[in-house]
Amino acid sequence: MAARRRTAPARRVPRRSAGVGATGLHHGRAARTRPGDGQAASAADAVRPALLGRGVGALRQVLAFEAPADLVLRRFFRDNADLGRRDRGFVAETVFACLRRLRWLSQLADGRDPRRLFILAADRLPAPTWRELRPVLSEDEQAWLARCRDCADAAAPLGVRADLPDWVVEIMRERFSDDAILAIGRGMQTPAPLDLRVNTVRVDRAQVLTALNAGGIEARATRYSPLGIRLVSKPALERHPLYLQGAIEVQDEGSQLLGFLLAPRRREMVADLCAGAGGKTLLLGALMHSEGRLYAFDVSAHRIRRLNARLARSGLSNVQPEVIAHENDVRLKRLAGKLHRVLVDAPCTGFGTLRRNPDLKWRHGAGALTDLTVKQSLILEAASRLVGPGGRLVYATCSFLAAENEDIVAAFLRRHPEFAVLNAQEILARQGIAIDTGERLQLLPQQHSTDAFYAAVLERRSA
């Protein structure tokens, strides 16, 4: 239970705009007319030599892949505090655009030269993030960039078009066609929207939508989650009254659906076994109307501290956060067979969040996947021991790899005939959520406009 993916805070540093990646990065050429196309750019639109140098330096640090990209950029901006908000946004957007299409841009750049990669990615940004590069490029660079604009990736290998590592493509080919792999890869090449979850202990969705739109933040109800709101832009929310009052939390719509699969009831005993910073824990607590007992377990004291801060805003009184040492901790053993429902949002590669964290595909290798699948099996075993007869167990990941999903569940069911699979689509339908997902939940960005999630709902039929 040691490995966890990062969760989205209310304000992300750096902030990313809603449109990065929608400009033709998919196919290799910039498709949008921008200021400066056929006309002189204003001084405000032009990149200064110093800014280009800073951006290249930031990308160079990120490409070392020694730490998560958002943490590297956070440190970079702290060390370069003189950069204004617009310049920080330009650098951050360019770095993440580069990471989303690193294989294709590296092919255009004949390698991973940070300057060439930064230029290519910056040239493909959408307005209003795009900035004019020509004043800081040599004549040779301008000619090279013009040639690159005419290049498309149609003839490139599948891994380059999907912008996934070859080892991932080969694993996916065991379950997916090449067309499906490409569709998933393309879906991961666009940035994720900013989704919120309404805390129904405090307020209802209609009230939040009214308040956000009245305050100039364009928002709409999400397609599937009854508690979700999707913002058109990505404003800073950490000082917004709704956030400070605990009325909203940042949470992807797909993540919200996991809570509805568990469907906890009032006065039940429930556990979120890999609680992290508590996004799903708080959702479960609200679905329980702050009644019963909800345990939030995690191996990280830091993440539990973050959960406690969010819990204080939420108004929930039924959550009991606890730090555990491992999946066999005595705190878990004391609850064996006593819980009505258990959620396992297992540590995984996080490949389902590549829209948000595109560096993950370059920081994970096949060896890491092997280690994770061992850990996932152990955690699922530990979780199953907590569930009493008739109880529900949801195993979930934010991954599209079968090795972390179907394979883990299939092996578990072979060992545990006392558990049976429930139909995820039917469970959601009974709660008014119409989504064509089948027996197992499998969300994909190109199909559902959410992060990629997998979930299997299991029920213990006997002791």
Instruction: Give residue 198's pLDDT.
Output: 98
Task: Inform me whether the pLDDT recorded for 29 exceeds 90.
Answer: no
How confident is the model over 336-367, as pLDDT tens digits? 999 999 999 999 999 999 999 999 999 999 99
| In the chain, % of residues over pLDDT 70 | 90
Neighbours of 426 (CB within 10 A): 11
- Please tell me the distance from the alpha carbon of residue 389 to that of residue 78, in angstroms, as a whole number: 53
pLDDT confidence tier of residue 385, bands split at 50, 70 and 90:
very high
Could you report the per-residue pLDDT of 39-91, keeping only the tens digit for each? 445 556 788 999 999 999 999 999 999 999 999 999 999 999 999 999 999 99
pLDDT at 31: 41
Tokens of 213: 């739109």
Cα 219 to the center of its chain, rounded Å: 20
From the list 148, 274, 348, 398, the catalytic residue is 398
Q: What is the pTM of this model?
A: 0.89
Q: Give the mean model confidence (pLDDT) for residues 413-435.
A: 97
pLDDT at 159 over 90: yes
- The string of DSSP codes covering 211-248 is HHHHTT--EEE-SS-TTEEEESS----TTSHHHHTTSE
What's the pLDDT at 190?
Answer: 92
> How much is the pLDDT for 127?
74
Check residue 151 and give its pLDDT: 95
Residue 148 CA to its chain's centroid (Å) = 30
> Do residues 85 and 13 touch, judged by C-beta distance below 8 A?
no
Q: Would you place residue 128 in the very low, low, confident or very high pLDDT band (cuts 50, 70, 90)?
A: confident
Strand partners, 421: 458
3-state secondary structure of 454: strand
Residue 395, both tokens: 């195993």
- Look up residue 290 and give its amino acid: S
- pLDDT of res. 8: 43
Predicted pLDDT of residue 462 = 75
Q: pLDDT confidence of 463, banded at 50, 70, 90?
A: low
- How far apart are the C-alpha atoms of 145 and 151, rounded to whole Å? 10
Q: How confident is the model at residue 11 (pLDDT cuts 50, 70, 90)?
A: very low
Is it the case that residue 25 has pLDDT exceeding 70? no
Report the alpha-carbon distance of residue 375 to residue 383 in Å, rounded. Answer: 12
Please name which of 197, 186, 318, 328 lies closest in space to residue 254, comparing C-alpha atoms: 197
Q: Residue 117: name the closest of 154, 148, 159 by CA.
A: 148
Instruction: Supply the pLDDT for residue 45.
Output: 78
Cα(272)–Cα(290) distance, integer angstroms: 15
Residue 245 has pLDDT above 70, yes or no: yes
Longest alpha-carbon distance in the chain: 75
pLDDT at 2 over 80: no
Task: Provide mean pLDDT across the span 165-178.
Answer: 96
Q: What is the pLDDT of residue 44?
A: 60
**274 classed as catalytic:** no
pLDDT, tens digit (0-9, with 9 covering 90-100), for 264-305: 999 999 999 999 999 999 999 999 999 999 999 999 999 999
Q: What percent of the chain has pLDDT over 90?
A: 86
Averaged over 197-217, what is the pLDDT? 97
Per the prediction, the chain carries an average pLDDT of 91
Cβ–Cβ < 8 Å for 401, 171: yes
Rounded to an integer, the average pLDDT of 390-398 is 98
Query: What DSSP line would sit under 260-285, residue for residue?
Result: HHH---TT-EEEETT-TTSHHHHHHH
Q: 221 pairs with which residues across the strands?
A: 229
